[in-house]
Homo-oligomer: A and B are copies of this chain.
Protein backbone atom coordinates (compact mmCIF):
# COMPACT_ATOMS: atom_id res chain seq x y z
CA UNK A 1 0.00 0.00 0.00
CA UNK A 2 3.01 2.32 0.33
CA UNK A 3 3.17 2.76 -3.45
CA UNK A 4 -0.52 3.55 -3.61
CA UNK A 5 -0.19 6.21 -0.92
CA UNK A 6 2.69 7.76 -2.86
CA UNK A 7 0.63 7.63 -6.04
CA UNK A 8 -2.32 9.35 -4.38
CA UNK A 9 -0.12 12.02 -2.84
CA UNK A 10 1.43 12.65 -6.23
CA UNK A 11 -1.88 12.79 -8.12
CA UNK A 12 -3.45 15.05 -5.51
CA UNK A 13 -0.71 17.64 -5.80
CA UNK A 14 -0.40 17.34 -9.59
CA UNK A 15 -4.16 17.79 -10.05
CA UNK A 16 -4.23 20.69 -7.61
CA UNK A 17 -1.48 22.37 -9.60
CA UNK A 18 -3.40 21.78 -12.83
CA UNK A 19 -6.56 23.21 -11.24
CA UNK A 20 -4.66 26.21 -10.00
CA UNK A 21 -3.43 26.93 -13.53
CA UNK A 22 -6.93 26.52 -14.97
CA UNK A 23 -8.83 28.69 -12.47
CA UNK A 24 -9.04 32.48 -12.42
CA UNK A 25 -7.11 33.55 -9.31
CA UNK A 26 -9.20 34.20 -6.19
CA UNK A 27 -8.34 37.91 -6.16
CA UNK A 28 -9.58 38.52 -9.71
CA UNK A 29 -12.93 40.33 -10.11
CA UNK A 30 -15.59 39.23 -9.24
CA UNK A 31 -13.59 38.07 -6.22
CA UNK A 32 -16.56 36.60 -4.35
CA UNK A 33 -17.24 34.19 -7.22
CA UNK A 34 -13.61 33.19 -7.59
CA UNK A 35 -13.10 32.82 -3.84
CA UNK A 36 -16.14 30.54 -3.75
CA UNK A 37 -14.64 28.36 -6.49
CA UNK A 38 -11.29 28.11 -4.71
CA UNK A 39 -13.03 27.46 -1.37
CA UNK A 40 -14.98 24.58 -2.84
CA UNK A 41 -12.18 23.05 -4.90
CA UNK A 42 -9.29 23.30 -2.46
CA UNK A 43 -10.99 21.81 0.56
CA UNK A 44 -8.95 18.65 0.98
CA UNK A 45 -11.07 16.50 -1.32
CA UNK A 46 -9.90 12.94 -1.84
CA UNK A 47 -9.43 13.42 -5.61
CA UNK A 48 -10.54 9.85 -6.29
CA UNK A 49 -11.79 10.61 -9.81
CA UNK A 50 -8.58 12.34 -10.96
CA UNK A 51 -6.57 9.50 -9.42
CA UNK A 52 -8.67 7.08 -11.43
CA UNK A 53 -8.09 9.00 -14.69
CA UNK A 54 -4.35 8.95 -14.09
CA UNK A 55 -4.15 5.36 -12.82
CA UNK A 56 -6.14 4.04 -15.77
CA UNK A 57 -4.30 6.23 -18.25
CA UNK A 58 -0.91 5.05 -16.96
CA UNK A 59 -2.12 1.45 -17.09
CA UNK A 60 -2.43 1.85 -20.86
CA UNK A 61 0.80 3.80 -21.24
CA UNK A 62 -0.43 7.42 -21.39
CA UNK A 63 1.97 10.04 -20.02
CA UNK A 64 0.70 12.23 -17.17
CA UNK A 65 0.96 15.35 -19.35
CA UNK A 66 -1.94 14.01 -21.45
CA UNK A 67 -4.04 13.02 -18.42
CA UNK A 68 -3.82 15.89 -15.97
CA UNK A 69 -6.21 18.38 -17.56
CA UNK A 70 -8.91 15.78 -18.14
CA UNK A 71 -8.44 14.68 -14.52
CA UNK A 72 -8.80 18.30 -13.37
CA UNK A 73 -11.87 18.79 -15.59
CA UNK A 74 -13.61 15.79 -14.04
CA UNK A 75 -12.81 17.07 -10.54
CA UNK A 76 -14.36 20.42 -11.55
CA UNK A 77 -17.55 18.62 -12.60
CA UNK A 78 -17.60 16.56 -9.41
CA UNK A 79 -17.09 19.65 -7.23
CA UNK A 80 -19.77 21.65 -9.06
CA UNK A 81 -22.19 18.80 -8.35
CA UNK A 82 -21.29 18.80 -4.63
CA UNK A 83 -21.82 22.57 -4.39
CA UNK A 84 -25.25 22.32 -6.02
CA UNK A 85 -26.25 19.14 -4.12
CA UNK A 86 -25.51 20.88 -0.80
CA UNK A 87 -27.93 23.76 -1.56
CA UNK A 88 -30.93 24.28 0.75
CA UNK A 89 -33.41 23.16 -1.95
CA UNK A 90 -31.42 19.95 -2.52
CA UNK A 91 -29.67 18.07 0.33
CA UNK A 92 -29.43 21.23 2.49
CA UNK A 93 -26.07 20.50 4.06
CA UNK A 94 -23.94 22.91 6.11
CA UNK A 95 -20.76 20.89 6.25
CA UNK A 96 -18.60 19.46 3.48
CA UNK A 97 -15.04 18.15 3.62
CA UNK A 98 -14.82 19.34 7.23
CA UNK A 99 -15.87 22.95 6.70
CA UNK A 100 -18.79 25.19 5.77
CA UNK A 101 -20.47 24.40 2.48
CA UNK A 102 -20.16 26.96 -0.30
CA UNK A 103 -23.62 28.48 0.18
CA UNK A 104 -23.17 28.74 3.97
CA UNK A 105 -19.95 30.65 3.43
CA UNK A 106 -20.78 32.75 0.32
CA UNK A 107 -24.57 32.72 0.06
CA UNK A 108 -26.87 30.74 -2.17
CA UNK A 109 -26.65 32.86 -5.32
CA UNK A 110 -22.86 32.76 -5.40
CA UNK A 111 -22.86 29.01 -4.73
CA UNK A 112 -25.19 28.43 -7.68
CA UNK A 113 -22.99 30.58 -9.93
CA UNK A 114 -19.76 29.01 -8.68
CA UNK A 115 -21.17 25.57 -9.50
CA UNK A 116 -22.37 26.75 -12.89
CA UNK A 117 -19.02 28.14 -13.88
CA UNK A 118 -17.02 25.17 -12.61
CA UNK A 119 -18.94 23.12 -15.14
CA UNK A 120 -18.16 25.68 -17.86
CA UNK A 121 -14.46 25.64 -16.94
CA UNK A 122 -14.41 21.84 -17.02
CA UNK A 123 -15.45 21.64 -20.67
CA UNK A 124 -13.23 24.58 -21.63
CA UNK A 125 -10.26 22.84 -20.01
CA UNK A 126 -10.64 19.82 -22.26
CA UNK A 127 -11.42 21.90 -25.36
CA UNK A 128 -8.17 23.84 -24.79
CA UNK A 129 -5.96 20.83 -23.98
CA UNK A 130 -3.39 20.94 -26.76
CA UNK A 131 -1.63 17.81 -25.50
CA UNK A 132 -4.56 15.87 -27.05
CA UNK A 133 -5.58 15.96 -30.68
CA UNK A 134 -8.91 17.61 -31.27
CA UNK A 135 -10.74 14.39 -32.21
CA UNK A 136 -9.85 13.04 -28.78
CA UNK A 137 -10.91 16.27 -27.07
CA UNK A 138 -14.33 16.13 -28.74
CA UNK A 139 -14.72 12.47 -27.79
CA UNK A 140 -13.80 13.14 -24.15
CA UNK A 141 -16.15 16.13 -23.88
CA UNK A 142 -18.99 14.05 -25.28
CA UNK A 143 -18.26 11.11 -22.98
CA UNK A 144 -17.93 13.27 -19.84
CA UNK A 145 -21.05 15.28 -20.76
CA UNK A 146 -23.01 12.03 -21.04
CA UNK A 147 -21.75 10.97 -17.61
CA UNK A 148 -22.50 14.37 -16.06
CA UNK A 149 -25.84 14.85 -17.78
CA UNK A 150 -29.09 13.10 -18.56
CA UNK A 151 -30.47 10.49 -19.07
CA UNK A 152 -28.34 7.95 -17.18
CA UNK A 153 -25.92 10.57 -15.86
CA UNK A 154 -25.10 12.50 -12.74
CA UNK A 155 -27.87 15.09 -12.99
CA UNK A 156 -30.61 12.59 -13.78
CA UNK A 157 -29.33 10.52 -10.83
CA UNK A 158 -29.62 13.50 -8.52
CA UNK A 159 -33.16 14.12 -9.79
CA UNK A 160 -34.10 10.47 -9.15
CA UNK A 161 -32.48 10.66 -5.71
CA UNK A 162 -34.51 13.74 -4.75
CA UNK A 163 -37.77 12.21 -5.92
CA UNK A 164 -37.04 8.98 -3.99
CA UNK A 165 -36.66 10.78 -0.64
CA UNK A 166 -39.23 9.79 1.94
CA UNK A 167 -40.75 6.94 -0.08
CA UNK A 168 -40.00 3.23 -0.16
CA UNK A 169 -37.78 2.10 -3.04
CA UNK A 170 -36.32 -1.24 -4.07
CA UNK A 171 -32.65 -2.25 -4.09
CA UNK A 172 -32.74 -2.11 -7.90
CA UNK A 173 -34.01 1.46 -7.84
CA UNK A 174 -31.34 2.41 -5.32
CA UNK A 175 -28.65 0.85 -7.48
CA UNK A 176 -29.97 2.72 -10.53
CA UNK A 177 -29.83 6.03 -8.63
CA UNK A 178 -26.25 5.42 -7.52
CA UNK A 179 -25.10 4.23 -10.94
CA UNK A 180 -26.32 7.50 -12.41
CA UNK A 181 -25.59 9.93 -9.59
CA UNK A 182 -22.04 8.86 -8.72
CA UNK A 183 -21.27 5.81 -10.84
CA UNK A 184 -21.45 7.46 -14.26
CA UNK A 185 -18.72 10.02 -13.57
CA UNK A 186 -16.51 7.38 -11.93
CA UNK A 187 -16.89 5.19 -15.02
CA UNK A 188 -16.15 8.21 -17.22
CA UNK A 189 -12.98 8.91 -15.20
CA UNK A 190 -11.64 5.42 -15.80
CA UNK A 191 -12.69 5.25 -19.45
CA UNK A 192 -11.26 8.73 -20.16
CA UNK A 193 -7.87 7.54 -18.93
CA UNK A 194 -8.15 4.36 -20.97
CA UNK A 195 -9.17 6.26 -24.13
CA UNK A 196 -6.27 8.70 -23.74
CA UNK A 197 -4.03 5.64 -23.32
CA UNK A 198 -5.49 4.21 -26.56
CA UNK A 199 -6.89 1.08 -24.95
CA UNK A 200 -8.51 -1.43 -27.31
CA UNK A 201 -12.29 -1.85 -27.35
CA UNK A 202 -12.00 -5.06 -25.33
CA UNK A 203 -9.79 -3.36 -22.76
CA UNK A 204 -12.23 -0.45 -22.63
CA UNK A 205 -15.08 -2.85 -21.91
CA UNK A 206 -13.11 -4.38 -19.02
CA UNK A 207 -12.28 -0.93 -17.66
CA UNK A 208 -15.96 0.01 -17.76
CA UNK A 209 -16.94 -3.13 -15.89
CA UNK A 210 -14.20 -2.51 -13.33
CA UNK A 211 -15.25 1.11 -12.81
CA UNK A 212 -18.95 0.29 -12.56
CA UNK A 213 -18.21 -2.08 -9.68
CA UNK A 214 -15.77 0.38 -8.09
CA UNK A 215 -18.30 3.23 -8.33
CA UNK A 216 -21.02 1.20 -6.67
CA UNK A 217 -18.54 0.01 -4.03
CA UNK A 218 -17.73 3.65 -3.34
CA UNK A 219 -21.42 4.39 -2.73
CA UNK A 220 -22.02 1.28 -0.65
CA UNK A 221 -19.09 2.14 1.63
CA UNK A 222 -20.37 5.74 1.76
CA UNK A 223 -23.71 4.46 3.03
CA UNK A 224 -21.92 2.29 5.60
CA UNK A 225 -19.78 5.19 6.83
CA UNK A 226 -22.88 7.39 7.19
CA UNK A 227 -24.31 4.98 9.78
CA UNK A 228 -21.08 3.82 11.47
CA UNK A 229 -18.90 6.97 11.72
CA UNK A 230 -19.39 10.19 13.73
CA UNK A 231 -19.55 13.59 11.95
CA UNK A 232 -16.02 14.70 12.90
CA UNK A 233 -14.47 11.58 11.36
CA UNK A 234 -16.45 12.01 8.12
CA UNK A 235 -15.94 15.74 7.61
CA UNK A 236 -19.60 15.93 6.62
CA UNK A 237 -22.80 15.55 8.60
CA UNK A 238 -23.17 11.90 9.73
CA UNK A 239 -26.57 10.22 9.89
CA UNK A 240 -28.01 12.68 7.39
CA UNK A 241 -29.34 9.94 5.12
CA UNK A 242 -31.53 8.66 7.93
CA UNK A 243 -32.57 12.19 8.89
CA UNK A 244 -33.62 12.86 5.27
CA UNK A 245 -35.42 9.50 5.12
CA UNK A 246 -33.14 8.50 2.30
CA UNK A 247 -33.03 4.90 1.24
CA UNK A 248 -29.53 3.44 1.71
CA UNK A 249 -28.13 -0.07 1.48
CA UNK A 250 -28.03 -0.44 5.29
CA UNK A 251 -31.63 0.82 5.60
CA UNK A 252 -32.82 -1.58 2.88
CA UNK A 253 -30.86 -4.73 3.73
CA UNK A 254 -29.05 -4.16 7.03
CA UNK A 255 -25.39 -3.48 7.86
CA UNK A 256 -24.14 -7.08 7.62
CA UNK A 257 -25.70 -7.71 4.22
CA UNK A 258 -24.33 -4.35 3.02
CA UNK A 259 -20.82 -5.37 4.09
CA UNK A 260 -21.21 -8.62 2.13
CA UNK A 261 -22.32 -6.60 -0.91
CA UNK A 262 -19.21 -4.44 -0.56
CA UNK A 263 -17.00 -7.53 -0.54
CA UNK A 264 -18.74 -8.85 -3.62
CA UNK A 265 -18.31 -5.56 -5.51
CA UNK A 266 -14.61 -5.45 -4.64
CA UNK A 267 -14.26 -8.98 -6.03
CA UNK A 268 -16.14 -8.01 -9.21
CA UNK A 269 -13.91 -4.98 -9.71
CA UNK A 270 -10.73 -7.02 -9.30
CA UNK A 271 -12.10 -9.80 -11.49
CA UNK A 272 -12.77 -7.29 -14.30
CA UNK A 273 -9.13 -6.24 -14.17
CA UNK A 274 -8.07 -9.82 -14.84
CA UNK A 275 -9.14 -9.33 -18.48
CA UNK A 276 -6.53 -6.61 -18.95
CA UNK A 277 -3.04 -7.79 -19.85
CA UNK A 278 -1.24 -4.85 -18.22
CA UNK A 279 0.13 -4.00 -14.80
CA UNK A 280 -3.04 -3.20 -12.83
CA UNK A 281 -1.44 -2.99 -9.37
CA UNK A 282 -2.50 0.61 -8.78
CA UNK A 283 -6.06 -0.03 -9.94
CA UNK A 284 -6.28 -3.01 -7.55
CA UNK A 285 -4.88 -0.80 -4.81
CA UNK A 286 -7.69 1.70 -5.45
CA UNK A 287 -10.28 -1.07 -5.07
CA UNK A 288 -8.68 -2.05 -1.77
CA UNK A 289 -8.57 1.52 -0.57
CA UNK A 290 -12.25 2.16 -1.35
CA UNK A 291 -13.25 -1.16 0.24
CA UNK A 292 -11.46 -0.33 3.49
CA UNK A 293 -11.94 3.44 3.65
CA UNK A 294 -12.92 5.12 6.92
CA UNK A 295 -14.00 8.50 5.51
Residues of B within 8 A of A137 (CB): 134, 138
Other-chain residue from B127, B148, B149 in contact with A142 (beta carbon distance below 8 A) = B127
Q: In this assembly, does A163 line the interface, its C-beta being within 8 Å of a C-beta of chain B?
A: yes
- A141: B residues at CB distance < 8 A: 123-124, 127, 141
| A124 and chain B: residue at smallest CB distance | B145
A145 touches B121 (CB 8 A): yes
Measured in the bound complex, the distance between the Cα atoms of B262 and A194 in whole Å is: 54
| A145 in complex: contacting residue of B110, B120, B162, CB < 8 Å | B120
Residues of chain A from 113 to 152 with CB closer than 8 A to chain B in the complex: 113, 115-117, 119-121, 123-124, 127-128, 133-135, 137-139, 141-142, 145-146, 148-151
Chain B residues with CB under 8 Å of A109's CB are: 87, 89-90, 162
Does A34 sit within 8 A of B, measured CB to CB? yes
Most B C-beta atoms less than 10 A away, residue of A108, A121, A151: A151
Q: What residues of B have a CB within 8 angstroms of the CB of A163 in the complex? A: 30, 32
Q: A2 at the A/B interface (Cβ < 8 Å)?
A: no
Residue A115 contacts which of B116, B133, B134, B151 (CB distance < 8 angstroms)?
B116
A55 on interface, CB distance cutoff 8 Å: no
Task: Give the nearest-CB partner of A125 in chain B.
Answer: B145
- Evaluate contact between B29 and A151: CB separation under 8 angstroms: yes
Give 19 new A-B contacts, CB below 8 A, not counting A24-B151, A29-B156: A29-B160, A30-B163, A33-B150, A33-B155, A33-B156, A34-B150, A89-B107, A113-B159, A116-B116, A117-B150, A117-B153, A117-B155, A119-B120, A120-B155, A124-B142, A127-B139, A134-B135, A134-B137, A138-B138
Task: Enumerate chain A interface residues (CB-CB to B < 8 A).
Answer: 24, 28-30, 32-34, 80, 84, 87, 89-90, 107-110, 112-113, 115-117, 119-121, 123-124, 127-128, 133-135, 137-139, 141-142, 145-146, 148-151, 153, 155-156, 158-160, 162-163
CB<8 Å pairs between A and B, sample of 18: A24-B150, A30-B163, A84-B113, A84-B116, A90-B109, A90-B112, A109-B162, A113-B155, A116-B119, A117-B149, A117-B156, A119-B119, A119-B120, A120-B145, A120-B149, A120-B150, A123-B123, A137-B138
Q: Which 8 A-B pairs have the closest CB atoms?
A: A124-B145, A89-B108, A127-B141, A120-B149, A134-B134, A117-B155, A30-B159, A123-B123
